[in-house]
């Protein structure tokens, strides 16, 4: 079913093998990575292969990580592939490139790959809200579990910049998971962000993911408020909210 001529069933077979998630399933998919023409799916395949020790997708992930629409998948693929030369090549990009998209992607990837030696540099960038790389630096610090970044995230919730608010929500989720961090006010900020109909959808989605990962009890109340927002109608965020309300058996009351 994986042959390119059977496009109508090919990706269904790919998805089935990804769900099986064994080394044998990865080996079956390995020869078909090059054949995949859809870049989003190619990166999904590259990530899956990387989780099973196959690094064939490294070149694709590096090549496409600067494209905003593919960045999340490319960064996830690089984190799964864990190519030994990746950190050196990504650091070289930071040192030589003046392109914001390339540098943002490099920072995000270095954070996922555990480049703790770059924490001081990332902190300096993240503290300057006017730096276009500040959101990426903050997300990277969250991935690196750098506690000093919590103050930056706390302040970021009040920003008018959607990218900074979103980065704050993402970083906060990782930092609040640390056993040494007790910050109920930041958890409250996450819940308020998710429930707030005036906040950007991207930032609200990030808050949802963080509260869900933390299994925070504030999530149910925030979901019950967010589901009433008519502006979310027909979107992915509302579908996820409704699914979580069903799964968590949250009782809704009339306003």
Which of 84, 115, 135 delimits the end of a domain? 84
In a domain, 96, yes or no: no
pLDDT given at position 255? 66
In a domain, 77, yes or no: yes
Provide the domain limits for residue 16.
1-84
pLDDT given at position 49? 98
Is the CB of residue 219 less than 8 Å from the CB of residue 191? Answer: yes
Query: In whole angstroms, how far apart are CA 138 and each of 81, 86, 144, 178, 227?
Result: 23, 20, 10, 16, 29
pLDDT given at position 7? 79
Which of 84, 112, 135 delimits the end of a domain? 84
Q: What is the pTM of this model?
A: 0.93
> What's the structural domain count of the chain?
2
Mean pLDDT for back-to-back runs of 10 residues, the chain (255 residues): 84 94 97 93 97 97 96 97 97 96 98 98 97 98 98 97 98 97 97 97 98 97 96 96 96 80
As a whole number of angstroms, the distance between CA 112 and CA 82 comes to 10
Same domain, 58 and 154: no
pLDDT given at position 6? 81
């Amino acid at each position: 079913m994986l042959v390119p001529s059977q496009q109508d069933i090919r990706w269904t077979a790919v998805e089935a093998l990804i769900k099986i998630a064994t080394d044998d399933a990865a080996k079956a998919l390995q020869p078909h990575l090059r054949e995949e023409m859809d870049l989003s799916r190619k990166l999904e395949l590259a990530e899956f292969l990387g989780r099973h020790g196959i690094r064939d997708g490294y070149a694709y992930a590096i090549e496409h990580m600067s494209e905003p629409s593919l960045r999340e998948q490319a960064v996830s693929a690089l984190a799964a592939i864990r190519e030994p030369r990746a950190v050196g090549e990504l650091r070289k990009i930071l040192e030589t490139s003046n392109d914001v998209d390339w540098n943002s992607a490099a920072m995000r990837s270095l954070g996922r790959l555990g480049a703790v030696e770059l924490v001081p540099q990332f902190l300096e960038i993240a503290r300057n809200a006017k730096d276009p790389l500040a959101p990426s630096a903050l997300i990277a610090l969250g991935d690196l579990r750098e506690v000093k970044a919590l103050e930056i995230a706390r302040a970021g919730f009040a920003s008018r910049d959607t990218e900074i608010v979103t980065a704050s929500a993402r970083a906060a989720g990782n930092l609040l998971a640390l056993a040494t961090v007790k910050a109920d006010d930041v958890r409250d900020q996450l819940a308020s962000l998710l429930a707030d109909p005036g906040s950007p959808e991207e930032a609200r989605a990030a808050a949802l993911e963080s509260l869900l990962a933390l299994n925070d009890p504030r999530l149910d109340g925030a979901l019950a408020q967010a589901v009433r927002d008519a502006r979310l109608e027909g979107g992915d965020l509302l579908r996820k909210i409704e699914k979580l309300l069903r799964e968590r058996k949250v009782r809704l009351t009339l306003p």
